[in-house]
Homo-oligomer: A and B are copies of this chain.
């Protein structure tokens, strides 16, 4: 969805502490001989597992270049078939294909699992190892890593999960849960057609008990932040153009001396935008913009209280070098609350006219801005966008064009009490990690397509392991690991643990 991925975002929140022990969990499952055998199988087959990750990473799947997408989808379908899925098929959309697969273990529980198999573009010459070579390289302090576009976001973790599943099947004959896989080939484009991948399977997905996507979630210090949902995001682009306005330059920039007798679309856009926020840029002045917001739930308040008490300023540790003061000089406690519960109106970018070095003397014929608004319960993307439109119209800016960008991720929420969450927490506990639990991420994700009607699935992710530089050069996924950060073996083992913990969870 977003150019800074959810994964990167979660990394920004790195912090940890000890959580209350999950209740009702049959802890001995994770120490059972069955699980131990599977862990041993993973250890014994690491070279093959690494090779499978490399194979998947070497298949290009750059959605914005339409490079290798279909081939990658076919490769993924092949993996599902080989794993023993009863169904594995490409799903047509108005864009690039999705993939659906169903693994039927005959188990009492079924989980929904999300995968994105497309990757960001790359500029090969900027990489220290070619982005499609998927070479194993040494990287301090992690030891060996696999370096490739998609290494951590998200083809490395996808293949690691399939490796974990294959090890379970090799040892026990079948998975402890049934899995419905839904896979997106346009995530890096904002998942514009992913609803078309899900819709044909809604009735099937409704039979799941949870949406569970194990994935490496440690930051570089081994800490974990867990968000029980996310904010929604309304992303729009507005453009003021002389031609639609009927004033100022109509077709192209004009000599800036003409400002004496011509109106300026750039000044107009600034005035329109300025009318939308308070002088400090923080309070949204669009009528009714806050009306849909409901107070935090008791559970959300409890979680925030715990975050503040147990983690405090450590939740912002990785951001401190880029931040001096929060808005209104809020304390850490206030900042945590506002980050969880506030809607926003942000300028991602604004541009008009000449922006190069030195001077050019033009009166530009147009000006544009990219705005995003993070949404909290019960704000709805299209309703908030409609309020923006109404604001423009009522303030005399009806000529300013506004268009929605992105697929439109609504806010999502899962209770900490959900068995799927408790199962993941139990696995962190086993490894001595207590994640910082946020009631929601301040960012956004497509998770609401699973957690809200019609599917209403509780959702959770997590697991050991680490990777970084998603969307950047030299993207990596840790293979070796160190005492703080799990390598591929620990990553896959924790995925096994999560499946078993959820499958055997007494309360589930």
Residues of A within 8 A of B (CB): 2-4, 8-9, 12, 189-190, 231, 233, 235, 242, 246-247, 249-252, 254-264, 266-268, 270-271, 273-274, 277, 279-282, 319, 321-327, 330, 335, 338-339, 342-355, 358-365, 367-368, 370, 372, 374, 405-406, 441-444
Q: Smallest CB–CB gap between A272 and chain B, Å?
A: 10
Q: Smallest CB–CB gap between A428 and chain B, Å?
A: 24
Of the candidates B9, B271, B347, the one whose C-beta lies within 8 Å of that of A274 is B271
Is the Cβ of B347 less than 8 Å from the Cβ of A353?
A: yes
With a CB–CB cut-off of 8 A, which chain B residues contact A252? 322
Complex: chain B residue closest to A8, CB-CB:
B255
Q: Smallest CB–CB gap between A3 and chain B, Å?
A: 4
Complex: chain B residue closest to A231, CB-CB:
B257
Is the Cβ of A361 less than 8 Å from the Cβ of B4?
A: yes
Contact A372-B347, Cβ < 8 Å, known A260-B338, A281-B271:
no
Interface centre among A256, A266, A358, A368 (most CB of B within 10 A): A256
Is the Cβ of B261 less than 8 Å from the Cβ of A335?
A: yes
Of the candidates B267, B273, B345, the one whose C-beta lies within 8 Å of that of A347 is B267
With a CB–CB cut-off of 8 A, which chain B residues contact A282? 263, 267
Is the Cβ of B324 less than 8 Å from the Cβ of A353?
A: no
With a CB–CB cut-off of 8 A, which chain B residues contact A273? 270
Complex: chain B residue closest to A279, CB-CB:
B271
Of the candidates B280, B321, B344, B365, the one whose C-beta lies within 8 Å of that of A260 is B344
Interchain CA distance A259-B277 in the complex, whole Å: 13
Is the Cβ of B267 less than 8 Å from the Cβ of A277?
A: yes
Complex: chain B residue closest to A346, CB-CB:
B259
Of the candidates B259, B280, B319, B338, the one whose C-beta lies within 8 Å of that of A344 is B259
Is the Cβ of B261 less than 8 Å from the Cβ of A270?
A: no
Is the Cβ of B257 less than 8 Å from the Cβ of A325?
A: no
Besides the contacts A8-B255, A246-B325, what 15 more A-B pairs have beta carbons closer than 8 Å?
Answer: A3-B360, A189-B358, A249-B323, A254-B323, A256-B344, A257-B442, A260-B442, A262-B326, A270-B281, A347-B364, A347-B367, A348-B359, A349-B354, A355-B370, A358-B405
Q: Smallest CB–CB gap between A111 and chain B, Å?
A: 28
Contact A3-B261, Cβ < 8 Å, known A247-B325, A279-B271, A322-B249:
no
Complex: chain B residue closest to A374, CB-CB:
B257
Interchain CA distance A339-B339 in the complex, whole Å: 50
Interchain CA distance A3-B364 in the complex, whole Å: 14
Interchain CA distance A250-B3 in the complex, whole Å: 20
Is the Cβ of B267 less than 8 Å from the Cβ of A281?
A: yes
Interchain CA distance A206-B246 in the complex, whole Å: 50
Contact A274-B270, Cβ < 8 Å, known A3-B360, A355-B349:
yes
Q: Smallest CB–CB gap between A237 and chain B, Å?
A: 8
Of the candidates B261, B319, B321, B347, the one whose C-beta lies within 8 Å of that of A339 is B261
Is the Cβ of A352 less than 8 Å from the Cβ of B349?
A: yes
Q: Smallest CB–CB gap between A1 and chain B, Å?
A: 8
Is the Cβ of B352 less than 8 Å from the Cβ of A347?
A: yes
Is the Cβ of A256 less than 8 Å from the Cβ of B322?
A: no
Q: Smallest CB–CB gap between A265 and chain B, Å?
A: 9
Is the Cβ of A342 less than 8 Å from the Cβ of B235?
A: no
With a CB–CB cut-off of 8 A, which chain B residues contact A406? 358-359
Complex: chain B residue closest to A243, CB-CB:
B324
Interchain CA distance A250-B175 in the complex, whole Å: 49
Is the Cβ of B344 less than 8 Å from the Cβ of A370?
A: no
With a CB–CB cut-off of 8 A, which chain B residues contact A348? 256, 353-354, 359-364
Contact A326-B2, Cβ < 8 Å, known A270-B274, A347-B364, A350-B352:
no
With a CB–CB cut-off of 8 A, which chain B residues contact A189? 358
With a CB–CB cut-off of 8 A, which chain B residues contact A405? 358-359
Complex: chain B residue closest to A254, CB-CB:
B322
Is the Cβ of B271 less than 8 Å from the Cβ of A361?
A: no
Interchain CA distance A321-B444 in the complex, whole Å: 45
Contact A338-B261, Cβ < 8 Å, known A270-B274, A274-B271, A347-B266:
yes
With a CB–CB cut-off of 8 A, which chain B residues contact A360? 2-4, 348-349, 370
**29 A-B pairs whose Cβ atoms sit less than 8 Å apart in the complex:** A2-B360, A2-B361, A3-B359, A3-B361, A3-B362, A4-B256, A233-B361, A242-B324, A247-B327, A250-B323, A254-B319, A254-B323, A256-B348, A257-B442, A258-B319, A260-B339, A260-B442, A261-B326, A261-B338, A262-B323, A267-B277, A347-B363, A347-B367, A349-B360, A350-B352, A355-B368, A355-B370, A358-B405, A359-B372
